[in-house]
């Protein structure tokens, strides 16, 4: 095919294993990214599966549809949801990748990702890989035997054949490259959609918001223990901890039982999964967003909270933590309940400081993480890859985060 030149529109295919809301930030980011790229003149198509935990997304399959604002094509998933095995998607990729200038692969330990890389290699189409934090040492230690087999069988080859590996923070890049000997890394963050439509509501109990997929890596047990430990006295009696998200039913039940047995049942609220206006309102009206994860390659919900001027408490294992600390946008804590409780206490006690750090976070997001800027950076990266002007892709100075 004829490749796009400097004056032509770039045709980009995004391949991601699944986009159901239950899979958290990546499911939202892929469509916001695609819409922003499209607004900037890139022709985008998202190829994915209908995976949705034990269920399947009710979507038309095998033909292009408009989904979450972006052109999308779905294929049925078979067997393991985790591996997202989809023979029909693989066959479509083998036939159609040649019609695109560049392929952007999101995730690595999955069948759609590996199938996309293989199709690109056969057709001579350049591709980028966004690992979604899965190359972090903590992530690699989970199900390590299976990942070791996949690494040597196919993942290593996929990464070494990539024109670039797309990381969303400096820390994600450092952790992956220092342990796995990878190169061709480029840091381009995720974007945030700023919303000034309405101010926060007032006149009701202040709350800390934990907004994420409910998964053991989110370290919610420690957050619950920390919050309950602050109950003594009247100082924090009006505060609530709102846990908004969903996950495996057995694990969700375990978290609810912990809240009850810790005497936090009346102060800890489980809302289930929130979307649309409910999700937006939960962010806008929070006093603090807490993300105390054991590993987080970006921390999209923290960046979204800052977009509303809500300060954050994040663990040092959230890879965006260094940038947020440098911007004065929140507090950084450890993983243990005692550390989290101490950090929460400092944040909860000082409303003036919360407002100051919230304003700093809003400025950080506006200056560094608008989707317009991110889409421009990605478009430039695509053109560099397509034109093959350099062997190693380097990030633009527009997105040099703290410490780089």
More confident residue, 3 or 75: 75
DSSP character at residue 14 = E
Domain extents in the chain: 11-191+370-399, 207-368
In the chain, the percentage of residues whose pLDDT exceeds 90 is 77
Whole-angstrom distance, CA of residue 170 vs CA of residue 334? 20
397 has pLDDT over 60: no
**pLDDT tier for residue 402 given thresholds of 50, 70 and 90:** very low
Most confident by average pLDDT, 75-79, 195-199, 240-244: 240-244
Task: Name the region of 3 (left: φ>0; alpha: ψ -120 to 50; beta: rest).
Answer: beta
β-sheet with 185-187: strand ranges across: 64-67, 70-75, 43-49, 11-15, 102-106, 127-130, 164-167, 185-187
82 has pLDDT over 90: no
Q: Phi then psi for 84, rounded to 5 degrees?
A: 55, 45
The average pLDDT across 284-308 equals 95
Q: Does domain 11-191+370-399 have CATH number 3.40.50.2300?
A: no
Tell me which residue of 354, 342, 297 sits closest to 165, measured CA to CA. 297
What pLDDT is stored for residue 339 in this prediction? 98
What pLDDT is stored for residue 7 in this prediction? 57
∠ CA 123-46-105 to the nearest 5 degrees? Answer: 55
Report the predicted TM-score, pTM, of the whole model to 2 decimal places: 0.86
What pLDDT is stored for residue 393 in this prediction? 43
pLDDT digits (tens, 9 = 90+) for 24-58: 889 999 999 999 999 999 999 999 999 998 889 99
Tell me which residue of 257, 284, 288 sits closest to 270, measured CA to CA. 257
CATH architecture of 207-368: 3-Layer(aba) Sandwich (3.40)
What pLDDT is stored for residue 232 in this prediction? 59
Q: Phi then psi for 82, rounded to 5 degrees?
A: -60, -45
What pLDDT is stored for residue 4 in this prediction? 56
In the chain, the percentage of residues whose pLDDT exceeds 70 is 92
**Do 11-191+370-399 and 207-368 have matching folds?**
yes
SS3 for 9? coil
H/E element holding 34?
helix 25-39
């Amino acid at each position: 095919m004829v490749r796009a030149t400097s004056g032509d529109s770039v045709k980009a295919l995004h391949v991601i294993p699944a986009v159901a809301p239950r899979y958290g930030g990546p499911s939202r980011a892929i469509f916001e990214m695609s819409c922003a790229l499209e607004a900037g003149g890139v022709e985008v198509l998202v190829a994915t599966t209908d995976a949705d935990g034990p269920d399947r997304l009710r979507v038309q399959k095998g033909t292009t549809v408009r989904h979450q604002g972006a052109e999308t094509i779905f294929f049925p998933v078979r067997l393991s949801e985790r591996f997202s095995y989809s023979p029909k998607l693989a066959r479509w990729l083998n036939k159609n990748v040649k019609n695109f200038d560049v392929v952007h692969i999101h995730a690595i330990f999955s069948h759609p990702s590996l199938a996309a890389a293989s199709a690109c290699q056969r057709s001579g189409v350049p591709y980028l890989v966004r690992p979604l934090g899965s190359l972090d040492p903590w992530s690699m230690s989970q199900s390590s035997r299976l990942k070791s087999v996949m690494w040597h069988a196919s993942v290593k080859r996929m990464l070494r054949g990539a024109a670039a590996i797309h990381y969303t923070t400096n820390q994600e890049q450092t952790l992956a490259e220092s342990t796995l000997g990878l190169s061709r890394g480029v840091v381009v963050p995720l974007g945030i959609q700023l919303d000034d439509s309405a101010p926060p509501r007032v006149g009701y109990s202040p709350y800390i918001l934990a907004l994420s997929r409910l998964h053991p890596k989110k370290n919610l047990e420690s957050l619950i223990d920390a919050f309950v430990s602050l109950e003594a006295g009247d100082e924090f009696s009006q505060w609530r901890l709102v846990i908004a998200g969903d996950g495996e039913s057995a694990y969700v039940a375990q978290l609810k039982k912990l809240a009850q047995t810790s005497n936090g049942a009346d102060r800890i609220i489980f809302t289930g999964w929130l979307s649309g206006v409910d999700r937006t309102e939960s962010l806008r009206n929070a006093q603090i967003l807490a993300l105390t994860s054991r590993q987080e390659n970006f921390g999209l919900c923290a960046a979204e909270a800052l977009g509303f001027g809500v300060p954050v408490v994040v663990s040092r294992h959230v890879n965006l933590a260094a940038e947020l600390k440098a911007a004065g946008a929140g507090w950084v804590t450890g993983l243990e309940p005692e550390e989290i409780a101490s950090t929460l206490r400092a944040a909860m006690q000082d409303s003036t400081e919360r407002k100051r750090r919230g304003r700093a976070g809003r400025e950080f997001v506006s200056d560094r993480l608008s989707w317009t800027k991110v889409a421009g950076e990605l478009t430039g990266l695509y053109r560099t890859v397509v034109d093959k002007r350099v062997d190693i892709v380097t990030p633009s100075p527009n997105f040099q985060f703290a410490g780089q």
